Structure 1
Amino acid sequence: MRKPRRYSIKQIAAQAGVSQATVDRAVHHRGHVNPQTQQRIAQAMKELKEQELFSMPVQGRTVFIDVVMHAPARFCQAVRDAMNQQAVQWSAFRIKLRFHLFEDISVSDLRKQLIWIAQHGSHGVVLKVPNDPLMMETIKDLQQQGIPVVTLVTDLPESDRLLYCGMSNHHAGATAAYLMANWLPQAARSNVLVVLSNDRFQGEDERALAFARSLQQQRPEIRVSRTEGSFGMDERLYVQLCEDLKGHESWSGVYSVGGGNRAILQAFEDLELPAPVLIGHDLDRDNRLLLAQKRLQAVLYHDLTVDAQRSFQALLQWHRLIPETDLPQSKVEIITPYNLP
C-alpha cells in the first residue's frame, strides 16, 4: 500500500478509525496488520481523496459519520455521491464520511461491522440494513454508547433509531400501482410480477404491499405475484427470473422494487417473452440508460441529497451542535423518458 504524500498518518488514522501506529505499519509494509484493517485503511485513503474533490476549506469541528449499507453497488454509489455532495454544504463543520458498503453480507457480519465502528468511535451511523431483531439489538447497543443511528430508505421502525430518512414507501407503492393500473390494457386479465431484492428490507416490503393492495382496488382482475432473494444483484436476479418466468407467457407488467432492471429485461428477452410494462426505483446509471432507450416506462425517484441532508441534520441536532428545526421528508417523483433530468 502506498501512502499519498498529501495525507498524514494522523489524517489516515482518524478517517480509518484505527491507531496511527497501525497506519504506520500498513503504509510502510511492516506487517502485523490484518487484511480487514488493511482494506479499511485503503478505503480511508479513497474517502480522503473523495472529500478533497468535493470539499472547500473549513475550520469547524470535525464530525465522523459512518455509512453502513447492504445494497447493490449501483445504489451504494448513488448514495455515496449524494452524501459527499451534502457533506460540504455544512460549512461550520468538517463532516468526514466513512463508508462500509456491502452487496452480500450476513446480518451477523453487519453486527460485527457496527460493533467495530462503535469500538473505534463515531458521531453517528447512517444505516441501510434488513429489518432484523439482531440489527435492532445492535442499534440499541450503539445508542447506549452515545452513537445515534439514522435509517436510510428502508426502516427498522421498532428499533431505537433516531430517525428514518427517505420517501414514504407506502406512497411509492401506491403510486406505482396507479401507473400500472392505467398503463395495462383495460378489460384484459393480466399478471404482474413484483420483484424485491429481499423482503427483510422493510421499505421494499412496504412498497410491495401497498402496490398489491392499491392495484387490487383499482384493477381487481389483475393477478399480482412476487419474487425475492436476489439482493438486487443482476446475475442472481437473472437466474432467478429465468426459473420464475418459465411456463408463464402472460406477464404484462413488472414492478421492480429492489432494482436489477437490466437483468429483468434480459430474462424476458432470452425467454422470448413480450417486454413488460416496467416500473422501477432510483435514477442510477442503468435506469437512466433504460429510460433513455424507453425500455423502462417510469422510475419512482426521490432526491437522495435531501435524505443525506436530513441524516446529517438529525445527527448534528442529536449532539446539540445545531438548533432543533423541522426535517422535511423527501418526496416521491415520477420520472419518465420525457422528463429525465
Structure 2
Amino acid sequence: MAGRKTTYADVAVAAGVSVGTVDRVINARGSVQPETEALVMHWARELRLDRALHQRPTRILRLGVLLLNRSDPFLEALVGGLQKAVLDYRYLNLQVRVFEYGKLDARHIVEKITMVEQTCDGIAINAFDDPAIRLRLSEFTRLKPVFTLVSDLPDTNRIAYIGASGQIEGRVAGELMARFLGSAGGQIILISGPGSFLGHGSREFGFRSVLMERFPSCTVSASLQSFEDKRIIRRQVGLMLKQHPEISGVYNTSVGSEEVGDVLRDLGREHSTVFITHELTEKNRRMLQVGILDAVIDQDPVGEARMLVQSFLSFYGRLETERTETGFRIYIRESCSS
C-alpha cells in the first residue's frame, strides 16, 4: 500500500470483517467478540493504520486472576507484580482483578471461575488438577482466554502456562542435593505438596529422575505429603528423623520450610543434614544465612506477573510477546550473606 494511507476498508479486507466492525474496535464502541477484536487490532498494526495506535484509548480489558487464599510470600509477591505491571501498561487500558478461593474443593473453584467469566475478559488460574475444573476452563476458552499460573492444567485449551518448569526445578534440586551429599550419597526425605497440583508432582518427578539417572548412591527413602499443613510437616519430619538417624538430606517442594528448619535445629542436625527448598522468602533467606538451608530454588513471581499481563495483552492484539516460560534462580549461603 505504498503511496497511500491505510483505510478501515483495508483492515476489514485483511481481517475478513466488515468496515463497521473495524470502526467499533478502533474507536472502542464495543459489541465485538474478543477474538475478533484481537484479529482487527493485529491487522491494524500490520497495515500501520495508525503509527500511534497502541496509544489510542480502547475499551478496558479486565484480567481475572484466581489464586488460593492463604498467607504465602510467593503469592503476595505475585499480586504485587501484577499491580506494578498494570501501572506499567496503564496506557493500554488494562485492569487486573484478583479473586481467591478458600478451600481445595473443585465445586467451589468452578463457581469462582464462573464469577470471573461474568466480569472479566480472561482468566489466569493457579489451581489443582480436577476433571470438573478442567471442563469448566475448557468451556471458558470458547469465549475468552485462559492462562495457567505456577502449576499447569493441561487439556484445557489454555493459551499458555506462565511460570517456570517444575520438572527442571526438580532436576536442579536433585543435582544440588547429590553434589552437597558428595560421592558417598545418602538417604533423603522428600516433602511434596498435594499431588493434584501438577507443579509439585513435576518437581518430585524431576528430582527423582536425576537421582536415578546420575546419582544412584542418593536415594529417596521417605516421601511425605504436606497437605499444605505446616503442623503436619513439623510432626512427620521430626518423627522420621528420630526413627532414621541415617537420613542425610531433606528436599521440600511445598510449604513449611521454617518448620523443617526448626526440627533440624531442635535435633542438632541443622549443619549435618542437607536441606533444599523453593522460594526465597525472608525466613528462608535467614535460614540460608545461618547455614540451616543449603540452597533455595527461587521462581520470579514479579517476572511471572509481568509475563502474564504481556501475554494477556498480546492475545487481544495490544502488545506483542511470544515468551511465556520464565526462569528461576539458585541461592546459596554466599549469595545471601547480607
- TM-score, length-scaled by structure 2: 0.75
The 1:244–1:69 alpha-carbon spacing in structure 2 relative to 1, beyond 3 Å, is: farther
Which residue, out of 288, 291, 296, partners 2:293?
Answer: 296
Which residue, out of 57, 61, 68, partners 1:70?
Answer: 68
1:202 corresponds in structure 2 to 198
**CA distance, structure 1, for counterparts of residue 57 and residue 63 of structure 2:** 18
1:156 corresponds in structure 2 to 153
Show CA shifts across 1:210-253 (max 9, x none): 1111012222122213222422x423422343444451222211
**CA distance, structure 2, for counterparts of residue 197 and residue 218 of structure 1:** 25
1:309 corresponds in structure 2 to 306
1:92 corresponds in structure 2 to 91
Write the letter of the residue equivalent to 2:61.
Answer: V
Trace 1:1-341 onto structure 2 (pairs within 5 A). Answer: 61-70=59-68, 72-74=70-72, 75-102=74-101, 104-119=103-118, 121-144=119-142, 146-188=143-185, 190-224=186-220, 225-231=222-228, 233-270=229-266, 276-323=273-320, 325-340=321-336
Equivalent position SS for 1:210 = helix
TM-align CA RMSD: 2.4
Q: CA deviation at 1:71?
A: 6.8
Write the letter of the residue equivalent to 1:193.
Answer: I
Aligned length: 279
**CA distance, structure 2, for counterparts of residue 272 and residue 106 of structure 1:** 39
The 1:69–1:244 alpha-carbon spacing in structure 2 relative to 1, beyond 3 Å, is: farther
Show CA shifts across 1:52-74 (max 9, x none): xxxxxx96643222211237522
Q: CA deviation at 1:98?
A: 1.9
CA contact 2:252–2:278 (8 Å) conserved in 1 = yes
Equivalent position SS for 2:60 = strand
CA contact 2:308–2:324 (8 Å) conserved in 1 = no
- Structure showing greater radius of gyration is 2
Write the letter of the residue equivalent to 1:105.
Answer: L
The 1:298–1:67 alpha-carbon spacing in structure 2 relative to 1, beyond 3 Å, is: same
For structure 2, the 5+ residue unaligned runs are 1-55
**CA distance, structure 1, for counterparts of residue 139 and residue 131 of structure 2:** 12
**CA distance, structure 1, for counterparts of residue 82 and residue 131 of structure 2:** 27
CA contact 2:296–2:330 (8 Å) conserved in 1 = yes
**CA distance, structure 1, for counterparts of residue 290 and residue 70 of structure 2:** 22
Q: CA deviation at 1:91?
A: 3.3
The 1:319–1:59 alpha-carbon spacing in structure 2 relative to 1, beyond 3 Å, is: closer
Show CA shifts across 1:156-211 (max 9, x none): 122221100111212111111111111014225x2111111211111111111111
Q: CA deviation at 1:78?
A: 2.0
Q: CA deviation at 1:334?
A: 0.9
The structure showing larger relative contact order (alpha-carbon pairs under 8 Å, at least 6 residues apart) is 2
- TM-score, length-scaled by structure 1: 0.74
**CA distance, structure 1, for counterparts of residue 235 and residue 103 of structure 2:** 17
CA contact 1:166–1:330 (8 Å) conserved in 2 = yes
Show CA shifts across 1:134-171 (max 9, x none): 11111112112x23111112101222211001112121
CA contact 1:61–1:92 (8 Å) conserved in 2 = no
**CA distance, structure 1, for counterparts of residue 328 and residue 134 of structure 2:** 27
CA contact 1:167–1:302 (8 Å) conserved in 2 = yes
> Once structures 1 and 2 are overlaid, which stretch shifts more, 93-102 or 161-170?
93-102
Q: CA deviation at 1:295?
A: 1.7
Equivalent position SS for 1:223 = strand
**CA distance, structure 2, for counterparts of residue 59 and residue 270 of structure 1:** 60
**CA distance, structure 1, for counterparts of residue 227 and residue 85 of structure 2:** 31
> What's the % identity of the aligned pairs?
22
